Amino acid sequence: MLLGFALVLTRVSSFLLVLPVFGSRGIPLQIKAAVAVFLSLFFCTTTPLGLDPAGVSTMMAIVLLAAEAIYGLALGLVVTLLFSVVQLSGHVVEQQMGMTMAEIINPLTDEQVGPLATLLEVIFILLFLSANGHHLFLLVLSKSYSAFPAGTIPTLNLLVSGVIETGSVMFVACLRLAAPMLTASLLLMAALALLARLIPEMEVFFIAMPVQAALGLFLAATFLPFVGGFVGEMAGWMAKLLPIYEL
């Protein structure tokens, strides 16, 4: 029984360690530990073990605990990569606006990031939680134990392929969300270049900076409704990319 609880606790703790929002530095360590223990007790009593604890040696128990930790980290990493889409899109918009030097402290990670990327990330998190997105995290753990009970994990190929495919989806989704800003910035540069050729006396550089910033803020405002739509789309990606199904 003790080995089974340790296996469940290892997977749950490693999953929560890298999970967005709940794994942030703003949440006290005592609360994280309490949540991990509570969830572990729940899953330990509701899901069967995938092995007989009586026949497990000490060395094998260590290997099983390490495997559970790797599986939990892989699950959390896939969710984290999908969460990074909105923030990366915000970074792209900031670069086109010329705001790469403007930085603030991210309240979730205590890191210096761009203000627009932080704003979009916070709005996305609020929309995600308001849509009961935290229930999705519990569903991920539940399905992982249904497919791979404690003591059994997917193959390494399945874990690695899931993380790599998620990385590809992250960059494609980021470019798709930032595409309107990239297109508008390209058109603006072409218009300013044409204006510089027609009126050489005009200081195009001093005109471009405020116009780029105003254009970026306008497109960021129009971008917000798509952030809400990404919440539902993210749930579909998680169902496809997470290694919680047997091959």
pLDDT score of 88 = 83
List, for the chain, all residue ranges whose pLDDT scores fall below the cut of 50: 247
Residue in the block written with tokens 């949440």: 27
**How much is the pLDDT for 77?**
87
Which secondary structure element, helix H or strand E, spans residue 132, and what is its range? none
Distance CA 182, CA 44 (A): 49
Q: Residue 49: helix, strand or coil by DSSP?
A: strand
The pLDDT assigned to 247 comes to 47
What pLDDT score was predicted for residue 244? 61
Give SS3 for 203.
coil
Report which secondary-structure segment, H or E, holds 85: helix 58-97
User: What share of the chain has pLDDT > 70, as a percent?
Assistant: 92
Residues 6+ apart with CB under 8 A from 137: 19, 22, 79
CB 40 within 8 A of CB 2: no
Token pair 């539940």: residue? 142
Q: Where are the domains of the chain?
A: 2-241
Q: What is the spatial distance between Cα 58 and Cα 43, in angstroms, rounded to a whole number? A: 23
- Which whole-number Å values give the CA distances from 150 to 8, 162, 175, in the listed order? 6, 20, 38
CA distance 130 to 153: 32
pLDDT for 202 = 73
Return the residue matching tokens 């603030």: 104
